[in-house]
């Protein structure tokens, strides 16, 4: 009788221990515990990533994705300085590559996911006055909004385009700098700028501006959006899962609806 009781107690203890381990991953963490991922992402990705994160939450209720949107240059510097981030989604290859070179992102944990294009926009009421980059030299165009070339990739691409067209020196005195591409869009929407250079995807989000010209791809550095997992992530498993989710066919199709192209 004692042996039978001892056997039953041993089995119950084994089941209890198994149940505790079943809810844990390889690191010993409870897979069902709430986790918050921080994704540092280019401002131009705000709309599509916000929508995708809501869809992701439906299948991963224990994972909350928090976004830190801004210019890729500023985000790159934040990660260099140790700011918490699990993934980095950049709008510029050079900003991303710098983190790879410093060992903060592994090349094997990164992918060139998307492409974009640069466009010239104007408030709708000015569409007849400005029809191309060449028209930016006209006297009626007093303010041109672009991102800061040093930290905002769209601003860098704009400067490269205007330089290639031999217009940069002619329009430099008219330039109003934005902290990111969304601020540039806002300047044009509100009439605080007569024209602006933004990504095609940003222009598509507004019904207050008109695209008057798309910059030829050979006028600037290719507009590539690399995505990668930050090495010091404290939530490696969840970061990998979201990283793979963003590369899925369904996610890429959603991004394409917002005007991006698959890289």
Q: Is 3.30.1490.190 the CATH classification of the domain at 33-115+224-262? A: no
152 annotated as belonging to a binding site for a ligand? no
Q: Is the pLDDT of residue 226 over 60?
A: yes
111 annotated as belonging to a binding site for a ligand? no
209 annotated as belonging to a binding site for a ligand? no
- For 169-191, the pLDDT digits (tens) are 999 999 999 999 999 999 999 99
Place of tokens 């949107």: 69
pLDDT of residue 13: 45
Rounded Cα distance, 75 and 44, in Å: 13
187 annotated as belonging to a binding site for a ligand? no
Rounded Cα distance, 233 and 238, in Å: 10
Please state the domain extents for the chain.
Answer: 33-115+224-262, 118-219
Q: By CB neighbour count within 10 A (0-12 exposed, 13-18 middle, 19+ buried), where does 221 fall?
A: middle
Could you name the CATH architecture of 118-219? 3-Layer(aba) Sandwich (3.40)
74 annotated as belonging to a binding site for a ligand? no
What is this structure's pTM? Answer: 0.81
- For 146-171, the pLDDT digits (tens) are 999 999 999 999 999 999 999 999 99
Q: What is the mean pLDDT of residues 17-26?
A: 42
pLDDT of residue 128: 79
Rounded Cα distance, 184 and 154, in Å: 10
What is the pLDDT of the chain when averaged over all its residues? 90
In this structure, the dihedral spanned by the alpha carbons of residues 167, 172, 176 and 178, taken in order and rounded to 10 degrees, is: 70
Question: Residue 6: CB partners within 8 Å, gap ≥ 6?
Answer: none
Instruction: Confirm whether 33-115+224-262 and 118-219 share one CATH topology.
Output: yes
């Amino acid at each position: 009788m004692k042996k039978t009781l001892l056997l039953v107690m041993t089995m119950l203890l084994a089941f209890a221990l198994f149940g505790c381990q079943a809810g844990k991953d390889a690191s010993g963490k409870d897979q069902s515990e709430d986790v918050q991922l921080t994704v540092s992402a280019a401002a131009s990705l705000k709309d599509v990533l916000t929508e995708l994160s809501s869809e992701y939450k439906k299948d991963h209720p224990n994972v909350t994705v928090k976004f830190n949107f801004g210019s890729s240059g500023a985000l790159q510097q934040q990660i260099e300085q140790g700011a918490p981030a699990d993934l980095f989604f950049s709008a510029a290859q050079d900003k991303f590559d710098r983190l790879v070179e410093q060992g903060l992102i592994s090349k094997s944990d990164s992918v060139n996911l998307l492409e974009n294009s640069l466009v010239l926009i104007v408030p709708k009421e000015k569409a007849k006055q400005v029809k191309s980059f060449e028209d930016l030299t006209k006297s009626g165009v007093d303010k041109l909004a672009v991102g800061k070339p040093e930290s905002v990739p769209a601003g860098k691409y704009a400067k490269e385009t205007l330089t290639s067209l031999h217009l940069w020196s002619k329009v430099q005195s008219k330039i109003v700098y934005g902290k990111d591409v969304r601020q540039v869009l806002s300047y044009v929407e509100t009439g605080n700028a007569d024209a602006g250079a933004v990504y095609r995807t940003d222009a598509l989000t507004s019904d207050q501006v008109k695209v008057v010209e798309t910059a030829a791809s050979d006028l600037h550095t290719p507009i590539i959006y690399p995505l990668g997992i930050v090495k010091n992530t404290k939530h490696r498993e969840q970061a990998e899962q979201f990283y793979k989710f963003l590369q899925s066919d369904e996610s890429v199709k959603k991004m394409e609806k917002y005007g991006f192209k698959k890289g």
